[in-house]
């Protein structure tokens, strides 16, 4: 169900960019703009600029920029719809949806109603813990948890098996059917989590989506932990406990601890280690790893050091490597879990232990080798090779292979041969390659910029100026988009003028289709595009290269990009063509060594002349 265009327009028209961003960044007014320290990098001199007049922001330390939506997506890691809903809630805007299907509308209403009841119940549990059932609070305090950390995680207590939860919900005029639907009560109306300490499990934006309940009085018939049942609202394989509190710390420190339990998260949080989450009582899943990947590339696995914990760690290592991330492993001394370890040692000793005992997966697997017997060493080596084979990046794969060679004291060439054999066997077993959807590929503006700066520039001009900005070409007014399309299509018969990055080709084709259908478009159309990847690219490229203050007040004349758009666009097209010509010339040079036919020589000669002419136009040669 999509948010209606009218609602989106109202959100954009209502949201005040400096007001929204100031909730996350301390801003100071300087002339027409606002300045602050970068929320993405540590710095002493402010390089983060917000322009209210242009309704954009720019972080010069990281190169990131965009509008209010892109800031929320970048800083809070919200999805596009989550960003819109955040602003709608902030400005009390009624959200209307395009989909008029009654069933879908009812489903959305049901979801929102269930969230309201869950948050209401969470408050009841929290009051119980501090006002009624002191035994539960005493237990938590005895485990070393302060009242402030208990309140921060909104931990509570569910009363004994009675109908109190249903009675209070009805009294507050909430629909009690959601208590049964979310399995908070049983068919008799009695509390299902009776006698348990309740850990609310929050979504990314802080709403309670489910609960984990720990039994207070150990009974043989009672399971130690009881979790909310899976539903459309709560899917434990896709949720990480504590992520709503940890996400900004993970992004800032650029790594994330993953532990096994709720109290483990609280224990680390209490001593100041706040980049930590838990897998909600399940083995670490692909979806959970992908959620962490939105904030960092590095995961430190901190599971129990018993055999079950080691097995879970081994599985997690391979899953993390498959997702293109870097796994590290930290194990505590035997018979210690994070909660007990944190409460029995001071912060300095904990930090030293963490630094000295965090290993990469090669060292960890080597450490687990049972003996120096040949069979055990071979098993360890094969296990390491298997993990390396899961790495998609060729450079990273080579690096880890070299590292394994040194640590295992084996020749790198032997390990390389073993790896190739393993890959061949693996490919034979999986002949069909998995289809990677566009949504699985994260657009990294900095990595693309390094390899394809000329492509970035053309796409930036198309998105920023589109069909609304005209330039004068041969005394004829023409839009930027039409000019770029015409110039590229003119030489497409002779040169391969596709973009190297597949997503750019899709954006370019989208623009061609709009022009052919006489549709006007602007940056906002791409910021609000249905395609999530289009939105990400637009958010990264929107705005000018620099945000300028009121220079005219200081009698300083600054040439704006808009003033020289024809020159900028013409140069950008030439650079784009030049790179492709040079690539073709290199190919022809190699071909000439084997084939000196007239056609090859003629093409080489013609392209060399064109290259020289472009170089002259760009002022590189006289």
pLDDT in tens, 11-58: 988 899 999 999 888 899 888 899 999 888 878 889 999 988 778 898
Write the Ramachandran bin of 441: left for phi over 0, alpha for psi from -120 to 50, otherwise beta: beta
* Residues 304 and 337 sit within 8 Å (Cβ to Cβ): yes
- pLDDT value at 442 more than 50: no
Q: What does DSSP say about strands 256-259 and 298-301: parallel, antiparallel, or unpaired?
A: parallel
Delimit the domains of the chain by residue range: 5-90, 102-234, 236-368, 372-431, 445-617
Distance of CA 3 to CAs 6, 8, 85, 305, 543, Å?
A: 8, 7, 9, 47, 25
- Report the candidate in 191, 194, 192, 226 with the shortest Cα–Cα distance to residue 211: 226
Per-residue confidence band for 157, with pLDDT thresholds at 50, 70 and 90: very high
Q: Which residue has the tokens 């993953």?
A: 258
- Report the candidate in 59, 9, 52, 1 with the shortest Cα–Cα distance to residue 29: 52
- pLDDT value at 222 more than 90: no
- Beta-carbon contacts of 73 under 8 Å, excluding residues fewer than 6 positions away, are 79, 80, 83, 535, 536, 539
**How far is the C-alpha of 85 from the C-alpha of 536, rounded, in Å?**
18
- pLDDT value at 8 more than 60: yes
Q: What is the DSSP letter of 518?
A: T
Rg (CA), the chain: 29
Correct CATH for 102-234 of 3.40.1190.10, 3.10.180.10, 3.90.980.10, 3.40.50.1100 = 3.90.980.10
Residue with more model confidence, 600 or 455: 455
Per-residue confidence band for 121, with pLDDT thresholds at 50, 70 and 90: very high
pTM for this structure? 0.62
Q: What is the pLDDT of residue 435?
A: 37
Would you tell me how many other CB atoms lie within 10 Å of the CB of residue 440?
10
- pLDDT value at 217 more than 90: no
- Beta-carbon contacts of 47 under 8 Å, excluding residues fewer than 6 positions away, are 37, 38, 59, 60, 61
End-to-end CA distance of the chain: 59
Per-residue confidence band for 229, with pLDDT thresholds at 50, 70 and 90: confident
Provide long-range contacts, Cβ within 8 A and 24+ apart, for 356-362.
357/330, 357/331, 358/300, 358/328, 358/329, 358/330, 359/328, 359/329, 359/330, 360/326, 360/327, 360/328, 360/329, 360/403, 361/317, 361/321, 361/327, 361/328, 361/329, 361/387, 362/400, 362/403, 362/404, 362/407
- pLDDT value at 288 more than 80: yes
Phi (first) and psi of residue 375, to 5 degrees: -60, -45
Q: What is the pLDDT of residue 496?
A: 67
- pLDDT tens track for 337-369: 888 898 888 889 999 999 999 999 999 999 998
Residues written for the chain: 622
* Residues 144 and 267 sit within 8 Å (Cβ to Cβ): yes
Strand order through the sheet with 28-30: 28-30, 33-36, 48-51, 56-59, 64-66
- Beta-carbon contacts of 445 under 8 Å, excluding residues fewer than 6 positions away, are 63, 64, 456, 537, 540, 541
**How far is the C-alpha of 483 from the C-alpha of 470, rounded, in Å?**
9
- pLDDT tens track for 421-430: 777 766 655 5
Per-residue confidence band for 255, with pLDDT thresholds at 50, 70 and 90: very high
- pLDDT tens track for 158-214: 987 778 888 998 998 888 888 888 889 888 888 889 889 999 999 887 889 999 999
- pLDDT value at 552 more than 80: no
**How far is the C-alpha of 618 from the C-alpha of 598, rounded, in Å?**
30
- pLDDT tens track for 49-59: 998 877 889 88
Q: What does DSSP say about strands 48-51 and 33-36: parallel, antiparallel, or unpaired?
A: antiparallel
Q: What is the pLDDT of residue 206?
A: 85
Interval 105-132 mean pLDDT: 86
Tell me the CATH class for 5-90: alpha beta
Architecture of domain 236-368: 3-Layer(aba) Sandwich (3.40)
> What share of the chain in percent tops pLDDT 70?
88
Q: Do domains 102-234 and 236-368 have the same CATH topology?
A: no
What tokens were used for 101?
Answer: 């299907």
Q: What is the DSSP letter of 473?
A: E
């Amino acid at each position: 169900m999509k948010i209606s265009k009218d609602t989106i327009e109202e959100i954009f028209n209502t949201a005040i960019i400096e007001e929204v961003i100031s909730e996350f960044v301390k801003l100071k007014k300087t002339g027409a703009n606002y300045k602050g320290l970068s929320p993405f990098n540590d710095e002493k001199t402010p390089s983060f600029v917000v322009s209210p007049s242009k309704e954009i922001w720019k972080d010069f330390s990281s190169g990131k920029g965009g509008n209010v939506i892109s800031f929320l997506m970048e800083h809070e890691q919200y999805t596009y719809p989550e960003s819109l809903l955040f602003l709608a809630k902030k400005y009390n805007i009624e959200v209307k949806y395009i989909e008029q299907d009654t069933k879908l509308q009812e489903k959305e209403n049901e979801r929102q109603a269930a969230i309201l009841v869950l948050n209401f119940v969470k408050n009841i549990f929290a009051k119980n813990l501090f006002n009624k059932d002191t035994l539960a609070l005493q237990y938590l305090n005895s485990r070393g948890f302060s009242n402030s950390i208990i309140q921060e995680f909104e931990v509570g207590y569910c009363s004994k098996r009675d109908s109190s939860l249903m009675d209070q919900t009805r009294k507050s005029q909430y629909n009690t059917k959601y208590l049964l639907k979310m399995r908070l009560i049983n068919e008799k109306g009695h509390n299902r989590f009776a006698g348990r300490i309740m850990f609310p499990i929050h979504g990314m934006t802080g709403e309670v989506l489910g609960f984990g309940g720990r039994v207070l009085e150990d009974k043989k018939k009672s399971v130690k932990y009881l979790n909310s049942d899976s539903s459309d609202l709560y899917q434990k394989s896709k949720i990480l406990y504590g992520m709503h509190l940890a996400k900004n710390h993970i992004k800032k420190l650029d790594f994330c601890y993953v532990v096994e339990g709720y109290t483990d998260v609280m224990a680390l949080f209490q001593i100041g280690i706040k980049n930590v989450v838990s897998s909600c009582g399940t083995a670490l899943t692909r979806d959970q790893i992908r959620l962490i990947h939105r904030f960092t590339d590095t995961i430190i696995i901190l599971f129990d050091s018993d055999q079950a914990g080691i097995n879970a760690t081994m599985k997690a290592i391979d899953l993390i490597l498959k997702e293109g991330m870097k796994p590290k492993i930290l194990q505590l001394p035997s018979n210690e879990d994070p909660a007990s370890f944190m409460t029995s040692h001071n912060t300095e000793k904990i930090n030293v232990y963490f630094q000295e005992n965090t290993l990469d997966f090669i060292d960890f697997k080597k450490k687990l080798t049972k003996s120096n017997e040949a069979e055990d060493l071979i098993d360890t080596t094969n296990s390491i090779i298997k993990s390396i084979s899961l790495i998609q990046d060729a450079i990273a794969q080579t690096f880890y292979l070299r590292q394994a060679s040194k640590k295992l004291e084996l020749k790198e060439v032997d390990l390389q041969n073993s790896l190739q054999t393993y890959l061949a066997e693996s490919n034979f077993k999986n002949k069909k390659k998995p289809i990677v959807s566009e949504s699985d590929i994260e657009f990294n503006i900095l990595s693309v910029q390094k390899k394809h700066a000329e492509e970035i520039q053309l796409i930036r001009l198309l998105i920023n100026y589109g069909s609304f900005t005209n330039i004068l070409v041969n005394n004829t007014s023409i839009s930027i988009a039409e000019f770029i399309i015409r110039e590229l299509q003119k030489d497409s018969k002779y040169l391969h003028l596709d973009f190297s990055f597949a997503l750019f080709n899709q954006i370019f084709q989208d623009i061609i289709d709009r022009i052919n259908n006489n549709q006007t478009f602007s940056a906002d159309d791409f910021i609000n595009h249905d395609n999530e990847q289009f939105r990400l690219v637009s958010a990264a490229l929107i705005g000018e290269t620099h945000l300028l203050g009121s220079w005219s007040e200081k009698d300083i004349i600054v040439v704006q990009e808009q003033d020289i758009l024809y020159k900028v666009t013409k140069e950008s097209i030439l650079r784009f063509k030049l790179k492709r010509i040079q690539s073709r010339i290199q190919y022809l040079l190699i071909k000439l060594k084997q084939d000196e036919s007239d056609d090859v020589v003629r093409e080489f000669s013609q392209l060399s002349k064109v290259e020289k002419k472009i170089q002259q136009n760009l002022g590189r040669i006289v």
